[in-house]
Amino acid sequence: MNRSAQNRSKSNTSSQKTGPTQARGYQIRIEGHLGADWADWFGELSLTLDENGETLITAPALDQAALHGLLKKVRNLGLTLVSVNPANKLERNE
């Protein structure tokens, strides 16, 4: 394979990775339990109350801008952020 073909091959491989404008799922862990009335405020996101006292917010598909917007909501509410993880990364580790 010549050099330009190798560069195109590398380019194709890197473009298959998730970029800032591509949506991906996230799991965001918040300290404390959020009440059911918060479900409307978080829209279509799933809220799960864990036994350890934390709330797991699951977002099936967010691009980077939407993720930052969600994190801004969490900050503006004064909630304590425990973790943010890509959902597909969590699935591979479980």
Tokens of 23: 């949506």
Tokens of 39: 């479900």
pLDDT band at 17 (very low <50, low <70, confident <90, very high): low
Q: Which domains does the chain have, with CATH numbers?
A: 24-93 (3.30.70)
- Mean pLDDT across the chain: 79
Q: Which residue has better confidence, 4 or 33? A: 33
CA gyration radius, the chain:
17
- 15 has a pLDDT exceeding 50: no
Tokens of 28: 């965001």
- 91 has a pLDDT exceeding 60: no
Per mean pLDDT, which range of 13-17, 48-52, 83-87 is the poorest? 13-17
pLDDT at residue number 89: 53
